[in-house]
């Protein structure tokens, strides 16, 4: 029996000897069973850029996992040639389980995980090129705040007037846009600490290197910097990954977009799934414009729209509510709207009761604590990630 593939191995040979299909404990076409026409079109798409526009309940995760299974079962790719990216560890584990079920065994060597978990994996391999050691630590939000507080105090900046947590949020938003300290302009610096935020950001990054640490924003931004400054390293990943798959593409921020664009230079086989009608994490730096310019970024891209919603109001699955069942869909929407109005009315009554019993004092908006960065939901700890 051949030894299992090394998940950290990066071959310098672009063409494998003979791609072997995955274990066939199931029928070769079993992964296509139950798919509707649009889902099937996306799953069996033969190469080239593919954008799947799909809302909640339309089976987009099933399309992604079935497409991975299709690539493996038909011998179009080895597991190590596939990179699949999602936004949460839970979604990544679910996708791994689904793929294993579809192909009849684990896809050893496949890279499937969150942006940040994959970023950790890449940075540990090439840490020295960025002035780090491979055993670097990842700071959480509290650690970031404490470090920034020390820097503010060293600069004799009043951390009561200019809270460290606010500056931490500003820095993370800069990193979401892949802005290093030297790229932060005067307009971006804002009024924090009378325009000194960019200087504190520079000191913050220098301090992180001194203590061999990164924060969540660095896990993406450092990869972008690595690939831009070291094309030979990027070429290694171009040779390895022939198939890119991305879930919730509308929720990518600027740094993640650049990360994907750099990787996609090595292949035309990229499949992105997203909803062009919404970006639920827009307040965390997501750039919904990324999905709107997909056709411009990838000329000749195929667009598939999933319009049949299989999800009921209770979270279960029912008959499709698509073009052929408009009456049922209208009934479901009407019922959903009624339930929503009832919940809103109940919430308003609760707020009125709270307002009459407990007076509240609102803090100024500028001193509100910054929200936890988007990365906290995708890489709470590297060891917990399916691929780390």
pLDDT > 60? residue 340: no
Helix locations, the chain, DSSP H: 37-43, 60-73, 89-103, 115-126, 141-154, 164-176, 186-189, 197-210, 216-229, 231-240, 254-264, 289-292, 294-297, 326-357
**What are the structural domain ranges in the chain?**
30-128+219-311, 139-211
The C-alpha atoms of residue 148 and residue 152 are separated, in whole angstroms, by 6
Q: Model confidence over 175-207: pLDDT tens digits?
A: 999 999 999 987 887 889 989 999 999 999 999
Is 13's pLDDT higher than 50?
A: no
* Other C-beta atoms lying within 10 Å of the C-beta of residue 62: 19
Distances (CA, A) of 3 to 83, 109, 261: 21, 12, 34
pLDDT range class, residue 140, cuts 50, 70, 90: very high
With cut-offs at 50, 70 and 90, classify the pLDDT of residue 106: confident
Residues 257-314 have pLDDT tens digits of 999 999 999 998 999 999 877 655 554 567 778 888 999 999 999 999 999 988 754 4
Tell me the percentage of the chain whose pLDDT exceeds 70.
71
DSSP tag of 268: S
Is the pLDDT at 102 greater than 90? The verdict is yes
Lowest mean pLDDT among 94-98, 299-303, 304-308, 337-341: 337-341
The burial class, CB within 10 Å (0-12 / 13-18 / 19+), for 258 is: buried
Q: Note the pLDDT of residue 343.
A: 56
For the chain, give me the number of helices (H) and strands (E)? Answer: 14, 10
Pairing of strands 111-114, 82-86: parallel
pLDDT for the residue 346: 58
Contact 174, 201 (CB under 8 A): yes
Per-residue pLDDT at 8: 39
User: Would the pLDDT of 213 be above 90?
Assistant: yes
CA–centroid distance for 147 within its chain: 27
pLDDT of residue 288: 72
pLDDT category, 28, cuts 50, 70, 90?
confident
The residue written with tokens 């339930």 in the block is 339
CA distance 88 to 111: 14
98 or 378: which leads in pLDDT: 98
Is the predicted pLDDT of residue 26 greater than 60, yes or no?
no
How many C-beta atoms lie closer than 10 Å to residue 335's C-beta?
11
Query: Contact at 8 Å (CB) between 286 and 251?
Result: yes
- The larger pLDDT score, comparing residue 346 to residue 80, is at 80
139-211 and 30-128+219-311 share a CATH fold: no
**Interatomic CA distance for residues 301 and 42, integer angstroms:** 12
Fold for the domain defined by 139-211: Arc Repressor Mutant, subunit A (1.10.10)
pLDDT at 292: 85
C-alpha distance from residue 11 to each of 107, 189, 241 (Å): 18, 43, 10
83 pairs with which residues across the strands? 111, 244
pLDDT tens digits along 70-93: 999 999 999 999 999 999 999 999
Pick among 3.40.50.620, 3.40.50.300, 3.40.1390.10, 3.90.228.20: CATH of 30-128+219-311:
3.40.50.300
> What token pair was written down for 159?
């951390």
* pTM assigned to the model: 0.74
Of the candidates 300, 331, 301, the residue with the CA atom closest to the CA atom of residue 313 = 331
Percent above pLDDT 90 for the chain: 60
| Dist. CA 39–CA 36, nearest whole Å | 5
Average pLDDT over all residues of the chain: 80
pLDDT confidence band for 328 (50 / 70 / 90): very low
């Amino acid at each position: 029996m051949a030894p299992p593939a090394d998940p950290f191995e990066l071959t310098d040979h672009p063409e494998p000897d003979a791609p072997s299909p995955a274990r066939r404990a199931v029928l070769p076409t079993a992964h296509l069973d139950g798919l509707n026409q649009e889902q099937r079109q996306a799953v069996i798409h033969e190469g080239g850029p593919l954008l799947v526009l799909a809302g909640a309940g339309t089976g987009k995760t099933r399309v992604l996992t079935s497409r991975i299974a299709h690539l493996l079962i038909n011998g179009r790719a080895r597991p190590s040639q596939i990179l699949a990216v999602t936004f949460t560890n839970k979604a990544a584990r679910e996708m791994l389980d689904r793929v294993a079920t579809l192909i009849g065994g684990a896809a050893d060597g496949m890279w499937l995980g969150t942006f940040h978990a994959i970023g950790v994996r890449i940075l540990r391999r090439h840490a020295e090129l960025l002035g780090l050691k491979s055993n670097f630590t990842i700071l959480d939000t509290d650690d970031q705040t404490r470090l920034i507080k020390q820097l503010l105090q060293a600069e004799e900046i009043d951390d009561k007037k200019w809270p460290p947590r606010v500056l931490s949020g500003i820095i993370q938003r800069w990193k979401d846009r892949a802005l290093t300290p030297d790229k932060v302009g005067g307009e971006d610096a804002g009024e924090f600490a009378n325009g000194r935020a960019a200087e504190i950001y520079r000191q913050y990054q220098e301090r992180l290197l001194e203590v061999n640490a990164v924060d969540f924003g660095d896990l993406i931004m450092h990869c972008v910097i690595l690939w831009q400054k070291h094309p030979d390293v990027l070429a290694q990943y171009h040779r390895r990954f022939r198939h890119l798959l991305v879930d919730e593409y509308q929720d990518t921020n600027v740094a993640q977009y650049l990360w994907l664009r750099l990787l996609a230079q090595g292949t035309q086989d990229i499949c992105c799934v997203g909803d062009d009608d919404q970006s639920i994490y827009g307040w965390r730096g997501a750039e919904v414009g990324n999905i709107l310019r997909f056709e411009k970024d990838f000329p000749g891209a195929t667009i598939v729209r999933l319009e049949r919603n299989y999800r009921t109001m209770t979270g279960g699955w029912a008959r499709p509510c698509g073009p052929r069942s408009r009456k049922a869909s209208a009934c479901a929407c009407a019922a959903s709207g009624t339930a929503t109005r009832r919940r809103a009315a109940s919430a308003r009554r609760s707020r009125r009761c709270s307002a009459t019993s407990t007076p509240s004092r609102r803090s100024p908006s500028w001193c509100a604590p910054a929200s936890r960065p988007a990365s906290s939901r995708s890489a709470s700890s590297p060891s917990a990630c399916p691929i780390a």
